[in-house]
Chain A
Amino acid sequence: MQPHIQINDLNVYYKNTQALKKINLQIPRKQITVIMGPSGCGKSTLLRSLNRFLELDEGTRLKGKILLDNENIYDDSVEVIDIRKRVGLLAQNPYPLPMSIFDNVSFGIKIHNIKNAKDDIEKTVRHYLELAGLWEEVKDRLHSPANQLSIGQQQRLCLARGLAIEPEIILGDEPTSALDPISAQHIEKKLIELKQSYTIVIVTHILRQAKRLADYVIFMYLGEVVEAGTAEEVFLHPKKDRTKAYLDGIF
C-alpha cells in the first residue's frame, strides 16, 4: 500500500541550531506509527512539522518536502488551514475551548462548514462524543462549560473535537502523559479502535506504551532517524546498536 505521508530530506533549524537532520521517512496508512526517543531528540519537532505548527515559532526554518498523498504540504499553493483540517492534533495537555461541551465539538464543524454534519448537528456531535467514548458521561450536561470536566474527560473531548472536523491523520504529542493511568488506558484503547479509519502518529517516551500501540516505529536520536520499521522489526530485531541500547533501557 502507498504510504500516507512521505518525508523527503527534511531539515529543520531553530535559529542557528539544526533540530532535524535529513529525515527520510514513509508513514503507513491506517496504522499507528510511534515516534520514540530520548527527550530533545527532535520527535516533537518532527510531529509538529506534519501539521505545520513549526511556523508558529519565530526563527524556525524548514527545508525539504512532506508529501501528504503526493501533495507537498509546504508548497506555496497549499493553504495551511486545509492542512490542519486534514491533520488533527491531540496535544499533551488537553485544552478545551472556552465554551460548552457541545460547542467544543460543533465549533470545528461550523467553521469548516462540513455540509452533511451541519444538517443535523446534534446527531453529529453525539456521534463524535460516542466515538471518543465520552457520550455516556456528558449526555446530561452537554451545555455546561467544558472546563468542568476531569482532565481525562477533557482529553477525550479534545479527541472528539478533533475527529469532528473529519481529519485523515491524527497526531498525538504524548497524549496520555498528563493523564491518570485509567484515562490513559481509555485513550490508548480509542486510538487502537481509530486506526481502522485514520492514520495515527504518536510521540511517546514511554517504551511500554510504544510496544502496546505501535504498528510502525521510528526511533530518533539527536535530530536524526536512527531506525524505522515495523514494530516487529524494531522491537524484536533492531539493526542498530543505539536502538538496542535504548530498548534495553541503557539511556
Chain B
Amino acid sequence: MIIKILMVGSFAIVFGSLSLIVWTVFSKGLPALSLDMITKIPEGGFYMGGEGGILNAILGSFLLAIGGTFLAILFSLPTALFLEVFSKSSAWCSYVRLSLDILWGIPSIVYGAFGFIIMLSVGLRASLLGGIITLALLEIPIMTRAMDEIIRQTPKNLTQAALALGVTKFELAYQIIIRQTFPALITAILLAFGRGIGDAASVLFTAGYTDRIPNSLFRPVASLPLAIFFQLSVPFPEVQQRAYASALILTIIVLLVSVVSRLVASRMNRFTIK
C-alpha cells in the first residue's frame, strides 16, 4: 500500500514537472512567437527589444547537433558492436562500460572546457567545427551505452542462426544485428541528439556565438540554448518573452525530429524478429 502511494506519488511529480515546464514554455513563449522569430537574424538592438529573429541560432543548433550526432554515431556504433560481438574478454568490456558510465555523468561544462583546451592546442578558434567535436564527445558515452544495452537484447538464438550460416563477425554485426535492432538504435541516437541540441555549456566556449547565419566550419555559430540564455539574462520583459519563444522552438524541433525518426524506424520494425 505504502509502495503504491510512493509509486503514484513519484509518477505525479515526474508528470507534474513535465507539464509545468511545457506549460511555462508555451504560455510565456507563444505570445512572442512570430514569423520574424524563425525567418530573420537579429538586427541592431535585438537584445534590447529591437527587430529581428533567431534564425541564426536555429540553423546553428541544427548544424551543431546533426554534425555532433553523426560524428558520435561513427564512434558509438562500432564501440557498441565491439563490446557485444567482437570482444572476447568480458572483464575488459565491463571496464569499458564503467568508463562510459563515468563519462556520461561528467557535467557538460567540463566537456566544454576540455574541448576548448584541445582546440587551443591545435590552434582552432571557437567555431562550428569545435562545437561539433565537443558535442560529439558529450554524446558518445550516452549513445554508446544506450546502443550497447539495445544490442545486448539481440536474441542469442538469432546470433547463432546467423553464425551457423557461416557469417563472419563483421557480417553478423553490420548485416544482422543492426537490422534486428534498427528501431531501437534510432531511439539511442535520438536520446543523444536531444542531449546535444539542448546543451548550452559545452558550446559556450567551443562554438561561440554570432548574429550571422552559419557559413563556415571555421567560424563561430549561434545556438538555441545560448540564445535562450542570453535573452533570459536581459532585464527587459519583452526580450525575456522571446527567450521563452526560443525555448518553444527548441522543444518543437526536438519533438519533430523524434516523431519523424520514429516513423522511419517503425517501417523497419516489421522485419525485426521477436
User: Which residues on A are within 8 Å of B, measured CB to CB?
Assistant: 51, 53, 56, 58, 81-85, 88-89, 91, 93, 95-100, 107-108, 111-112, 145-147, 158, 161-162, 165
Contacts and interface: CB of A to CB of B under 8 A. Distances in A.
A53 B176 CA distance: 18
B165 A84 contact: yes
A82 B167 CA distance: 10
Contact of A95 (B158, B166, B167, B175): B158
Nearest to A90: B164
A111 B171 contact: yes
B153 interface: no
Contacts of A89: 164
Interface stretch (B66-74, B186-194, B266-274): B266-274
A218 B158 CA distance: 29
B273 A81 contact: no
21 contacts: A51-B164, A53-B164, A56-B160, A81-B167, A83-B166, A84-B166, A85-B165, A85-B166, A89-B164, A91-B157, A91-B160, A95-B158, A97-B176, A99-B179, A99-B271, A107-B165, A112-B166, A147-B271, A147-B273, A162-B165, A165-B165
Given A97-B162, A111-B171, 12 more contacts: A53-B160, A58-B90, A97-B176, A97-B179, A98-B179, A98-B273, A112-B166, A145-B270, A147-B272, A147-B273, A165-B165, A165-B166
B161 A95 contact: yes
B180 interface: yes
B155 interface: yes
B163 interface: yes
Nearest to A92: B157
Nearest to B157: A95
Interface string B249-274: 00000000000000000000011111
Contacts of B155: 95
Interface residues of B, number: 23
B215 interface: no
Contacts of A98: 158, 176, 179-180, 271-273
Contacts of A165: 165-166
Contacts of A56: 160, 163
B121 interface: no
A36 to B, nearest CB: 22
Contacts of A85: 165-166
Contact of B274 (A58, A100, A147): A147
B273 A91 contact: no
A84 B165 CA distance: 6
B155 to A, nearest CB: 7
A161 B165 contact: yes
A97 B166 contact: no
Contacts of A108: 165-166
